[in-house]
Structure 1
């Protein structure tokens, strides 16, 4: 046998030996893990999971979204401001970053933005340059996200611009008051003041309310309050990944903790913002945690979330409660996405898809 053939055979045998050893080690490791996990979970109660790492999802997720899914935690995820001044510094620092991208977004999506006041509340009117004829008498009201603390002024306009640009709707975005200066119920009072004023001159059957995260919770709470105050209700709503339970309650608060690379954990800035906003009001008050309200008589609702979203349970619980109340409710869940990542990059196909789905839903239930 030639020397080259012997070398090749030796290399092949060595590779097989290494592979067999690795397989045996893996099998042994799995068998040991399976036994220890079975023992740890033998009783009815809390589940115990091993420490693990999770890669990016499969190839049906776009490269643009893959980049967001794999990104590190945001630097502010564990921010712990101790004073109003420290909160304001953090809020302003984040706002500057968001505002820097607004001009390019407006140009790319073909919208114009005008400032106005409605019922004494600062608002933005976002109008697409091209509007379908069916939308000319329709109007959307936007309440932004940001944990009730982030997104003052233009900083929270991104979602409204995307809804106007991708959906072809005129949007009123409410720049509601926020902590540290204005805790609950200032944000809800502002949003409801705008709603009350707009329904005086617009047909509520041609109107919808939408928002993400905090804005999703406020969307739900606005309908609850409209019911209580016997006001006209919107024809449809789109609470995206709503902060429906502001407390740390729900399966995904544990299951997706440290996996969600946007919110990361309730115990960081998020829980601190919740307590700052509530300002002593019970976290189970339906105006703060609308999951505890009565959803009977709600308009058709579309919800959006992702499999790694810390608020996945908030969204799922809301969807089930709406369905149990007899409400038409759609649920869109995106593979691999952390909190609200469907609206972080207008170049991602999933972003267009999400807003197009919402627009089509509104088109189905809003009168022309």
Structure 2
């Protein structure tokens, strides 16, 4: 703003306005300018030419552990571009991946000193994970876990790594929901199974001593459980931890573009995970908050800790949820892993970054769960 030189005489100057009036006028003027800028920016964004970014090689960050460097530096997922269109086509893909991952589970259980037991809760398949040593403050606490996998992957023991890490590093008892997936069932089967377990937990455990957590599709399910509990007038958990949630299956978000072909797990917004979500949705509106929770009413949510990475295709999904929670007045904490692609923090339990993530979540839960 250019200020005109002050006149030498004030004999014809108008009387000075009261300070409060000056403040109101200045504030109104400021908001008017801001509103104009917002409108102009919105119009400009619609008309702007996309930024052209030159091709470049992206090195592994130099300040990560050797274990995480190996995960970050891995090539793009081999089958990232597959597009199975039915549950029957997804089944062999899921079974092959599950067999490979399940072979790693015994080592994780041994290293983190956790035992696992199969169970059924009101007809829903589940696992109970118990650390060898539960501290006194956690003995009456219980966590519910919903695994990830784009709603079509990681059945059975393959869905357990994150639950094992939470039980082992955080030393909480965990119930992990082995929800139905295509071709066994489509939407809303996973949501219904997760809700069934949540209702059962609230009948036996004080909800003030509980939390819900999960990653990717499990992060979206974590948010959806709270949305449904609110709608149905059910108790809410004391805290939740949605990790890199699939909070917008309509693929809105800056990082779907900026991190495409950089995230070595999901790789592309049009890759396997998008195909899996569509098969699970089975024609249901993808913008429904049950499938895209960022469009839901997040007011009244419990304290929330979110986790993502700088190379995560769902970084924007996570950031947008964090911002919406903050706007709703919800206590929300966001942790972002350096160089990490989608859900890298559940890839290697020996990486110090993995332990740091789960210790952060455990500390958050400890502050918010009743003892």
Tell me the TM-score normalised to structure 2 length: 0.86
CA RMSD of aligned residues (A): 1.4
Q: In the alignment, which residue of structure 1 is the partner of 2:257?
A: 254
Aligned partners of 2:80 and 2:210: how far apart in 1? 35
Quick check: 1:283 aligned with 2:321? no
Aligned partners of 1:209 and 1:43: how far apart in 2? 39
Aligned partners of 2:126 and 2:228: how far apart in 1? 20
Q: Which runs of 5+ in 1 are unaligned?
A: 1-40
Deviation of 1:118 after TM superposition, in Å, equals 0.6
1:283-322 matches, within 5 Å, as 283-322=286-325
* Residues 265, 310 of structure 1: 8 Å contact kept: yes
Quick check: 1:270 aligned with 2:261? no
Aligned partners of 1:265 and 1:58: how far apart in 2? 22
* Residues 110, 165 of structure 1: 8 Å contact kept: yes
Q: In the alignment, which residue of structure 2 is the partner of 1:74?
A: 77
Aligned partners of 1:171 and 1:43: how far apart in 2? 47
Deviation of 1:42 after TM superposition, in Å, equals 11
Q: In the alignment, which residue of structure 1 is the partner of 2:17?
A: none
Q: Which of 199, 203, 206 is equivalent to 1:203?
A: 206
1:29-44 matches, within 5 Å, as 44=47
Deviation of 1:46 after TM superposition, in Å, equals 4.4
Aligned partners of 2:64 and 2:49: how far apart in 1? 32
* Residues 142, 172 of structure 1: 8 Å contact kept: yes
Aligned partners of 2:293 and 2:85: how far apart in 1? 28
Aligned partners of 2:178 and 2:156: how far apart in 1? 6
Aligned partners of 2:203 and 2:182: how far apart in 1? 29
Aligned partners of 1:166 and 1:309: how far apart in 2? 23
> Alpha-carbon deviations, 1:291-346, whole Å to 9, x = none?
01000100000000000000000000000000000000000011110001011001
> Where has structure 1 moved over 6 Å in runs of 4 or more?
none
Q: In the alignment, which residue of structure 1 is the partner of 2:106?
A: 103
Matched pairs, number:
328
Q: Aligned pair in 2 of structure 1 residues 46, 110: CA closer, same or farther (>3 Å)?
A: farther
Deviation of 1:59 after TM superposition, in Å, equals 2.2
